[in-house]
Amino acid sequence: MIRLRIDSVVCDLAAEQPLTLAWSGRTLTDPEAGRSGEALTFELLPTAAAEALFGAECHLYGAGRFNAALHRGELLAGGTPLVSGSVRLVETRWHGTEHRYRVELRGGAHAWAEQAAKGWFRELEVAYAGRLLPTEIAAGWSDDSPVKFLPVYRDRYEIENGDAGLRPPERLLSTDDYHPFLSIRALVQALFAKAGYTVESAFMESPWFRSLYMSGAYASHDTRVRQQKMGFLARRKADRTTTANALGRVEANPFVTHNTVGNLVDAFSPQEVDETGATLTDAYSAGGCLRIEEGELCFRPLTEVSVGFEYELRYTTDYRIRSRTRLTGFDSVWLGEDADVRFELANRFEDRREALRPSFQYRIVVFDHTEGNRWTLRCTTDGAETTLTDFTTRSTLFTTPQGTTLVNARLYRNVSGVYVPYTEDWALYDGYIGETGRTEVQITVRTSPESVTPTAPKYFRQISFYGAEEGMNFTISRRCRLRPCFSSAPGYGAALAFDDVARHEIRQAELLRALAHLFDLRFHTDEQLKRVYIEPACDFYDATTVWEWSDRILGDTPIAGADRALDVHDRRTWGYRDADGAVARFDAANDTRFGRWSHATASKAAKQGEEVSLNELFAPTLCEAGRYANAPSALILCVGDRDDATTDDATAVTPRIVRWMGLHGLPAGERWGYPLGDERYPLAAFHFTGDAETEGFTLCFEDRDAQEGLHRFYDARIAAEEDRQQVTLRLRIAPDEYAALFRFAGEAHPTIRSRFRFRFAGGSSLFTLRAVEAYDPREGVAHCTFDRLCDD
């Protein structure tokens, strides 16, 4: 007997009430299909139980207010719940003195789907707190933080290189050289957990899926009006040299008489000329907001504004070789209380201990030398031990003897008259390299927004450079630049929470749809257990058990079969949203579409035309080597678009998805910068060809560089669609069996993820359930469509 239970009250249905249930496999593919669910309408008899439930709703002018509260209902067939959900009164019908109630039961709706459709991405409750500092960025590469700041190269037109010394400038990494990336697994778990659900997914627990991260986003808004009215680009007219004071510091303060370089910048007009006679055509100050007031640099806006500042700093510093990895010199900048920017000057000179040449001059440096130490340097020359030099200073020059091979250079220290092997830090350099010298440095730092008003302007008198030894020379370059940042993006040293790095203006459902598209995911919810099952289609169906259902086929009705190819196009393409920046240029240069894969359907039953399925969220990403001079082999993610004139936000990044591969080894002689200072670097990539240390992979849909593309998640389905059939037939299914189709827990039983065997038309094949077109629980008969599989 079919009944409807509302708030634990069992109500009788009108005898003539038709009842048909249905289910479609399309609900598995669309994360938002569970938002609205399925609506069933019932006509209820006015039994005593119903009258007690609906109160005075039977009187047009009564005081009944059934719809004023939320009511829960269940459709029961012989005590088995078939559909459960919310109930609302649709209408009350009068037939003379008699009346009936029409109610709607909406089942199959899931709270997580409603939340995902309405909730903003930034509202996901992911546990994260940190500060935008190099030390914390580096620490995140070795922990399980859901937010990792990964190195990026922001697409731009390069400005001129430095011209001091034999080496290119030391371009120091700052916080803007990294971008936040968010753990996909943590995002998905947070989405469902907030709605009270757990996720069961072997795929999402795999190391492969755990390595997936997507780019985050900072708060952004249109700053073009502020830029036009109060923006500026300030330059310097001339280089200026001074020396470090007793504290190893140099000021950028016009009111200090010694050890200062004056105002950091002093040119704000495109008519101004630098010391070489070049016109500074890019310098400007809109509204005269940046100017010199009473001798000092001042930003006085037209109105109150929240603004940070980007300092593009270039200078030349004296140095002393401190260790094999580091130089002593001006290696820190004070830009204010919240921007004490510390870094290290890398020792980029190559240690020649493993590559000695005969008859060549070298310099040995013993970094921890103290007065009174005596040293001897030896090596093996053509199989015989040879003393290269004896010395008593921190460094000395020597020339290697003639010989075919010189190997195993080793240093000994005299201890109580006996030379013992020295195991601390020392190095051999080419002879032209001095223990001291000069090196050019460049670093770009963006500070956090601060409130500046016309009456409380921003002064730049507290800037200083430090970390050097007293008397070391410091030359500020005329290539220094200063510009405002009117965006809300956090700057150096800012405190961060998850919503600070997750400001994509998207709904949470867009993330699920994007993932479903990449991996052909299937979603199923057990509302009773508050559990969501998620797997790729190729792994969703149970391959271990086959259910024989041939004897359930009703023999008095026909079985219809048709090619599955009738539902697909003769050409299908999968890919990412339109590329920008480096990928767009790569596509143009190579006449390709990076990340896209197309398949031509072999069956002539397919529909004409091409179906193009592009990911609505993610763009493809290239990695490039050679972007960081100290580690030219490091592969860096290229983001942004230098030709995009629609935004002036340098921190904006089109959403990307990459795999985080951890710290990856660099070739000998290359090191990642401060604070890691290691022969490893943080590797994340969209496409990686692989090497001896790490297996290659790609997130492209196509195969590329011998790496299998994401089309592998679609291959089995595509093969079946163009070579197999679908069948429609009628089966005997009891109400309790029908309800169990959608419940995966408990003892083994047939479900919508099962494989079924049918024997008819002289053959036997395996099928999966595509849809229940109609199910009558009174008769226990289902009209179903099944898809035939390839492996039958």
Q: What is the pLDDT of residues 555-613, one digit of tens each?
A: 888 999 999 999 999 999 999 999 888 999 999 999 999 999 999 999 999 999 999 99
- pLDDT at residue 60, as a whole number: 56
- pLDDT at residue 18, as a whole number: 81
Average pLDDT over residues 685-706: 97
- pLDDT at residue 97, as a whole number: 75
**Confidence check: pLDDT of 56 > 80:** no
Q: Which of the residue ranges 191-195, 246-250, 378-382 would you say has the lowest mean pLDDT? A: 378-382
Q: Which of the residue ranges 159-173, 191-205, 223-237, 636-650 would you say has the lowest mean pLDDT? A: 159-173
- At 720-742, the pLDDT tens digits run 999 899 999 999 999 999 999 99
- At 748-766, the pLDDT tens digits run 999 999 999 999 988 899 9
d(CA 122, CA 116) in angstroms, rounded, equals: 12
**Confidence class for position 61, pLDDT limits 50, 70, 90:** low
Number of H helices, E strands in the chain: 12, 55
**Confidence class for position 400, pLDDT limits 50, 70, 90:** very high
**Confidence class for position 68, pLDDT limits 50, 70, 90:** confident
DSSP for 560-580? EEEEGGGGSEEEEEEE-SPP-
- pLDDT at residue 62, as a whole number: 53
**Confidence check: pLDDT of 719 > 80:** yes
C-alpha dihedral (470, 471, 477, 483), degrees to nearest 10: 30
Q: What is the mean pLDDT of the chain?
A: 93
- pLDDT at residue 160, as a whole number: 54
* Nearest in space to 78 (alpha carbons), one of 784, 738, 582: 738
Distances in whole angstroms, Cα of residue 589 to Cα of each of 698, 704, 780 = 21, 17, 62
The structural domains of the chain, with segments of one domain joined by +, span 2-27+35-109, 114-128+135-162+179-215+505-525+570-605+617-716, 224-348+436-486, 361-430, 545-566+724-788
**Confidence check: pLDDT of 465 > 60:** yes
- pLDDT at residue 58, as a whole number: 63
d(CA 6, CA 713) in angstroms, rounded, equals: 43
- Name the residue with higher pLDDT: 405 or 307: 307
- pLDDT at residue 639, as a whole number: 94
Q: Are 174 and 152 in contact (CB under 8 A)?
A: no
Average pLDDT over residues 96-103: 84
Q: Which of the residue ranges 97-106, 389-398, 764-773 would you say has the lowest mean pLDDT? A: 97-106
* Nearest in space to 34 (alpha carbons), one of 191, 241, 167, 264: 191
- pLDDT at residue 95, as a whole number: 81
d(CA 373, CA 364) in angstroms, rounded, equals: 14
- pLDDT at residue 455, as a whole number: 97
**Confidence class for position 57, pLDDT limits 50, 70, 90:** low
Q: Are 186 and 613 in contact (CB under 8 A)?
A: no
Rg of the chain (C-alpha set): 36
pTM: 0.92
Question: Which uninterrupted H or E stretch holds 85?
Answer: strand 80-95
- pLDDT at residue 459, as a whole number: 96
DSSP 3-state of 658: strand
* Nearest in space to 577 (alpha carbons), one of 697, 685, 689, 657: 657
DSSP 3-state of 293: strand
* Residue in this structure with the two tokens 């035309």, named with its chain if needed: 609
**Confidence check: pLDDT of 323 > 90:** yes
For residue 296, report the phi and psi dihedrals to the nearest 5 degrees: -125, 155
Query: What whole-number percentage of the chain has pLDDT above 90?
Result: 81
**Confidence check: pLDDT of 161 > 60:** no
- At 489-513, the pLDDT tens digits run 999 999 999 999 999 999 999 999 9
The two beta strands, 546-548 and 9-12, are: unpaired
**Confidence class for position 59, pLDDT limits 50, 70, 90:** low
- pLDDT at residue 64, as a whole number: 61
Q: Strands across the sheet with 426-430, in order? A: 395-399, 361-366, 426-430
**Confidence class for position 159, pLDDT limits 50, 70, 90:** low
* Residue in this structure with the two tokens 């780019």, named with its chain if needed: 215
**Confidence check: pLDDT of 381 > 80:** yes
**Confidence class for position 698, pLDDT limits 50, 70, 90:** very high
Most confident of 10-24, 399-413, 696-710: 696-710
Residue 92 β-bridge partners: 101
**Confidence check: pLDDT of 234 > 90:** yes
- pLDDT at residue 489, as a whole number: 92
End-to-end CA distance of the chain: 39
